[in-house]
Chain A
Amino acid sequence: MPPLVGVAPGVVTLKINGVDCSARDDQTVLEVAREQNIHIPTLCHLEGLESVGGCRLCLVEIQGMRGLVAACVTKVTEGMEVQTSTPQIEAYRKMIVQMLFTERNHVCSVCVSNGHCELQDLAVEMGITHVEIPYLFPKCELDASHPRFVLDHNRCVLCQRCVRVCDEIEGAHVWDNQGRGIHCRVVTGLDEPWITSDTCTSCGKCVHVCPTGALFEKGRSAGEMAKKAPQLPYLQNIRKGAARG
């Protein structure tokens, strides 16, 4: 979020897909593209949370920069020339989504989030009708110790929205990551059962920012878990107001 007081941000001009745009210099490529109604697919990004550039779906090509960069964490600069869609970028995005499908067990037909899932939507958007990478079928645990919510690692895409919303908005920091690469898992507390976490306020924000069926409310059956995306920028402003008194 831009500061309300202090040094006024500068204005820069740049080109996205050949379209001239002007923007504040504290904005990201993703923000400016969205203002211009230029679509860039995202998964880990959520308005109101710090961007981490984790899922790599928002990769874009910027002239003069080595390799592709994540639009959600790249600030605009004067004279920047951005391409949001090239055959190479599209191929990478398709591969990323396919890898997400193979790395865990996304059995859409019986998933609580079937029909309300951002991973599923991405597959549709990219015209993915099958996954070319062999499925791993890993053995994944499920934590149903919380009285209201369930964590199902089978569906987790490691977007870290739960980690960030709990830390940045709720201020509880129940969630974190453990392990690296393919062994990475989100954990509650110090990798203890969710119910034993002393810091969890049971607010449920983690559940409702989760893009898939990895976090859901108990009692939901297949296709019943529609998430109510919380208005995070609104919540942030309330907290800022409260802090200022």
Chain B
Amino acid sequence: MNIQIDFTLNGRAVSIDAPAHVTLLRLLRDYLNLTGTKEGCAIGECGACSVLLDGRVVNSCLVLAPQVSGRDVMTVEGLAPVEGAMSDLQAAFVKYGAVQCGYCTPGLVIAGEALLRDNHFPTRDEINDGIAGNLCRCTGYQQIVDAIEQTARQRAAAQVKE
């Protein structure tokens, strides 16, 4: 049973025909060829498939594709101001050694972005709480927390300047 799904994806209007029973994750990867969003467990336990839905972080493996009709979806590919470049948070992930194998990175960047939009001055404990839904097997999380913490400071400093 195909269904037409109209939504905003990374700031652009998208209209796509897909079966009603596919997940948002499959829609992104298999129908829209946006493979930055990863599948790690498909049951909402690892966060590798995290995307922003109307600005809030969700596991795209637990969202039914037609649920996003009329809504706004942001994936890892949409965070940078220019396609192929990096957002400040993505650059901080690289700078602070928060990237190793990289498979969890898109989901963690999305979760970090959601956290920073919600909480401009998170403590390290709050960051750990905010990324608890994203498993990482390589880094032990320390440098991921560093990257998010430093980005918060940079953003705060930039706001003061303005």
Does B associate with A?
Answer: no
Residues of A within 8 A of B (CB): none
